[in-house]
Chains A and B, each alone.
Chain A
Amino acid sequence: MEIILAIGIGVFAGSGVWLLLRPRTYQVIIGLSLVSYAVNLFIFSMGRIKVGAPPILPGPGVGDPATMADPTPQALVLTAIVIGFAMTALFLVLLLAARGLTGTDHVNGRED
Chain B
Amino acid sequence: MSNGQLLLLALLLPFAGSALAAFLPTHARNAAGFMAGAIAVAGCALIVLMYGSVAHGEPVRLVLEWLPMLGINVSLRLDGLAWLFALLIFGIGALVVLYARYYMSAEDPVPRFFSFLLAFMGAMLGVVLSGNLVQIVFFWELTSLFSFLLIGYWHHTAAARDGARMALTVTGAGGLCLLVGVLLLGRIVGSYELDEVLNAGGLIRSSPLYVPVVVLVLLGAFTKSAQFPFHFWLPHAMAAPTPVSAYLHSATMVKAGIFLMTRLWPVLAGTDTWFYLVVPAGLVTLLLGAYAAIFQQDLKGLLAYSTISHLGLITLLLGLGSPLSAVAAIFHTVNHAIFKASLFMAAGIIDHETGTRDLRKLSGLFRYMPFTATLAMVAAAAMAGTPLLNGFLSKEMFFAEAVENHTGSLLDDSLPYWATLAGIFSVTYSLRFITGVFFGPPPTDLPRMPHEPPHWMRFPIEFLVLICLLIGIVPSYTVGPLLANAARAVIGPDLPYYSLAIWHGVTWALVMSIIAMIGGAVLFLALRPYLDSGVEGPPLVRELKGQRIFERMLVVISWQLARTLERALGSRRLQPQLRIVVVVALAAAVSPFWLRGMVAEGPLPLTAFDAAFALLWAVGAGCAIAAAWQAKFHRFAALVLLGGAGLVSSITFAWLSAPDLALTQLLVEIVTTVLLLLGLRWLPKRIEEPYPTSPPPSVLLRRYADLAIAIGVGIGIAIISYAMMTRPLGESVSRYFVERAYVGGGGTNVVNVILVDFRGFDTLGEVVVLCLVGLTVYALLRRFRPAQESIEAPEQQRLQDEFDEAAPDRSPGDTVADYLRIPRLVMQWLFPVIATFAVYLFMRGHDLPGGGFAAGVTLSIAFIVQYMAAGTRWVEDHLRVLPLRWMGFGLLIASATGAGSWWFGYPFLTTHARYLDWPIVGKFPVASALMFDLGIFAVVVGATVLMLVALAHQSLRRTRPRRTAEGD
A residues near B, CB below 8 A? 1-24, 26-27, 29-31, 33-34, 37-38, 40-42, 44-65, 68-72, 74-75, 77-79, 81-90, 92-97, 99-101, 103-105, 107-108
Q: List 16 A-B contacts (CB under 8 A).
A: A5-B617, A10-B714, A10-B718, A14-B714, A14-B717, A16-B628, A37-B645, A47-B734, A51-B607, A56-B848, A57-B748, A57-B749, A63-B739, A82-B940, A85-B671, A86-B773
Residue of B nearest to A50 (CB): B657
Q: Which interface residue of B604, B646, B848 has the most chain A CB atoms within 10 A?
A: B646
Q: Name the 5 nearest CB pairs between A and B, nearest first.
A: A14-B714, A10-B718, A18-B710, A6-B722, A15-B628
| A57 with B632: CB separation less than 8 A | no
- A86 to B239 CA separation, bound complex (whole angstroms): 49
| A81 with B668: CB separation less than 8 A | yes
For residue A84, which residues in chain B have a CB less than 8 angstroms away from its CB? 668
For residue B660, which residues in chain A have a CB less than 8 angstroms away from its CB? 74, 78
| B679 with A96: CB separation less than 8 A | yes
CB of B577, distance to nearest CB on chain A (Å): 10
For residue B714, which residues in chain A have a CB less than 8 angstroms away from its CB? 10-11, 13-15, 17
B523 on the A face (CB < 8 A): no
Among B679, B724, B759, B770, the residue within 8 A (CB) of A46 is: B724
| B607 with A79: CB separation less than 8 A | no
Residue of B nearest to A86 (CB): B773
A7-B718, A15-B627 known, 19 other contacts, Cβ within 8 Å: A10-B715, A12-B620, A21-B709, A29-B676, A30-B627, A42-B717, A42-B720, A47-B734, A48-B725, A52-B657, A64-B738, A78-B755, A79-B853, A81-B664, A82-B940, A84-B668, A90-B776, A95-B679, A108-B574
| B780 with A97: CB separation less than 8 A | yes
Chain A binder among B97-105, B459-467, B782-790: B782-790
Q: Mark B925-960, 1 if CB is under 8 A from A, else 0.
A: 000000000000000100110011001000000000
Residue of B nearest to A94 (CB): B780
Classify the secondary structure of B's interface with A: helix
B919 on the A face (CB < 8 A): no
- A40 to B661 CA separation, bound complex (whole angstroms): 10
CB of B579, distance to nearest CB on chain A (Å): 6
B874 on the A face (CB < 8 A): no
A71-B754, A93-B951 known; A81 vs B665 contact (CB < 8 Å): yes
- A99 to B733 CA separation, bound complex (whole angstroms): 46
Which residues from 714 to 758 on chain B have a C-beta closer than 8 Å to any C-beta of chain A? Answer: 714-722, 724-726, 728-729, 732-735, 737-743, 748-751, 754-755
Chain A binder among B148-156, B221-229, B408-416, B608-616: B608-616
For residue A5, which residues in chain B have a CB less than 8 angstroms away from its CB? 617, 652, 656, 721, 725
A5-B652, A40-B649 known; A60 vs B748 contact (CB < 8 Å): yes
Q: Mark B249-267, 1 if CB is under 8 A from A, else 0.
A: 0000000000000000000
Among B607, B649, B783, the residue within 8 A (CB) of A50 is: B607
For residue B665, which residues in chain A have a CB less than 8 angstroms away from its CB? 40, 81
For residue A61, which residues in chain B have a CB less than 8 angstroms away from its CB? 742-743
Among B578, B672, B751, B848, the residue within 8 A (CB) of A71 is: B751
Residue of A nearest to B944 (CB): A85
B553 on the A face (CB < 8 A): no
| A48 with B672: CB separation less than 8 A | no
| B631 with A6: CB separation less than 8 A | no
For residue A81, which residues in chain B have a CB less than 8 angstroms away from its CB? 661, 664-665, 668, 853
| B606 with A26: CB separation less than 8 A | no
| B751 with A90: CB separation less than 8 A | no
| A1 with B579: CB separation less than 8 A | no
CB of A70, distance to nearest CB on chain B (Å): 5
A33-B642, A81-B668 known; A14 vs B608 contact (CB < 8 Å): no
Among B606, B631, B729, the residue within 8 A (CB) of A27 is: B631
| A87 with B773: CB separation less than 8 A | yes
Which residues from 570 to 608 on chain B have a C-beta closer than 8 Å to any C-beta of chain A? Answer: 572-575, 578-579, 582, 604, 606-608
| A45 with B721: CB separation less than 8 A | yes
| A31 with B661: CB separation less than 8 A | no
- A23 to B695 CA separation, bound complex (whole angstroms): 15
| B664 with A78: CB separation less than 8 A | yes
B474 on the A face (CB < 8 A): no
CB of B877, distance to nearest CB on chain A (Å): 26
Among B710, B763, B774, the residue within 8 A (CB) of A15 is: B710
